[in-house]
Structure 1
Amino acid sequence: MTATSPSEPPGESQSMTERSRTVTWTDPAELAAAVRELSGPELFAKLIAGELPMPTIGKTVGFRLVEAGDGRAVFEGEWGEHLLNPAGGLHGGWYGLVLDSAMGCAVHSALPAGTGYTTLEYKVNITRAVTEKTGKLRIEGWVVHQGRRTATAEARVVDAAGKVYAHGSETCLILG
């Protein structure tokens, strides 16, 4: 049995190479207020133009909105080793997070001021492994159906060559 110091968790070895990552963000209150006051198209135009701060989740995970409007939203980003599962692959939750973001924002891009949405359910299909060679990824979402109370959307994660790494579908509840 090996003894460890109080600052070293059990099972950790001195030979491990530690890494660190610093994430900075702005107070999310300004963005939250804008979400309640602006239409979807107005909100996303201000976000893309840099007139409003990007959502904190984008800073945390490393993706950003690059296009939005008319029932469509596109994000871009790259994965990082801080997002790996214990086996060394990109954690499946990352796919769910970015696909939900693209699908939800696609729905939101078609909403008038004072109307919101929430995700009721989503499904994710991971079709190909993201690796260190994959490069920048695009997450493209679009509305399939938008009704008075619900909307459905689809999205996919693709690389620069158009290869699909994951795709999903979602149902959103429209909030008046």
Structure 2
Amino acid sequence: MDLVLTGPARYGSSHPMSSVNLAADRTSSDGNTSIDVPEAQGETGRVGTGSGLDLLRAMAANEILSPPAMALLGIEFVSIRDGGATLRREPGDYLYNPVGPAHGSAVAALLDLALGSAIQSALPAGRTYTTLDTRISYLRPLTAASGTLTAVAQTLDIGERRAVAEAHLTDADGQACATATMTGLVVEKPHEVSPEKPDRTWDVSDWFKIS
């Protein structure tokens, strides 16, 4: 079976997932291609108890798995605090849009995760949120030369049913690159039972053309 890379994996070492095993799933009968996600250092699985701050600090310390989207997008925690979060990523050339700079969605993803983390960090046990609205103002184009992008998010208001947070994005030189706000609906967290062994395999067959 020949694999022709047609998605993020084709960028090799410049892509954040290059250190993750990209291979055809030999145990799959349908020929799907999968990614095996690296193990966290400690116990893993969903966390059904504890505050949002406890959950995020455990993720930042690699005690439980962070959201798969973070590994896929090359985003990592810098710090977590009550009502605030700082995250970062590199704007590699694999993120460029057809006209050059990093695609706006790459910036939006970083800001979205920072804003959501800030809101979640302020919520008590048994509460989470769902996004109602996110607004982003792009201040300058970003390229690989921009260096590490850092998003600092802070809650502005946490109510019984509504939460609001803002975030500021800067490049490696400290220049303002974007700002954003998020409004979230605060809801009760569904009851969850931690699986014995979470599935850490991502199906990315749509990244490949199999012939």
TM-score with structure 1 length normalisation? 0.81
Residue 78 (str. 1) matches residue 90 (str. 2): yes
Letter matched to residue 43 of structure 1: L
- The runs of at least 4 aligned residues of structure 1 exceeding 4 Å deviation read none
Q: Please name the residue that 1:116 is paired with.
A: 128
Letter matched to residue 19 of structure 1: Y
Aligned partner of residue 87 in structure 2, secondary structure: strand
Aligned partner of residue 19 in structure 1, secondary structure: helix
Deviations, residues 141-161 of structure 1 (Å, cap 9, x unaligned): 110111000011100111233
Q: Please name the residue that 2:141 is paired with.
A: 129
**Structure 1 unaligned blocks of 5 or more:** 1-6, 9-17
Q: Give the aligned CA root-mean-square deviation in angstroms.
A: 2.1
Residue 121 to residue 23, structure 1, CA distance change in 2 (3 Å): farther
Deviations, residues 30-68 of structure 1 (Å, cap 9, x unaligned): 45x11x323111112211222112221111111101211
Q: Please name the residue that 2:162 is paired with.
A: 150
Q: Please name the residue that 1:169 is paired with.
A: 181
Aligned partner of residue 120 in structure 1, secondary structure: strand
Letter matched to residue 91 of structure 2: W
Letter matched to residue 110 of structure 1: A
Number of corresponding residues: 158
Deviations, residues 72-101 of structure 1 (Å, cap 9, x unaligned): 000022112221111121101112111111
**Alignment match of 2:11 (pick from 16, 19, 32):** 19
Residue 134 to residue 53, structure 1, CA distance change in 2 (3 Å): same
- Percent identity of the aligned residues? 32
The 10-residue stretch of structure 1 (149-158 or 124-133) with the greater mean CA deviation from structure 2: 124-133
Residue 93 (str. 1) matches residue 93 (str. 2): no
Q: Indicate conservation of the 8 Å contact 1:62/1:79, yes or no.
A: no
Distance in 1, Cα, partners of 2:160 & 2:150: 29
Distance in 1, Cα, partners of 2:125 & 2:39: 22
**Structure 2 unaligned blocks of 5 or more:** 5-9, 21-36, 189-211
TM-score with structure 2 length normalisation? 0.69
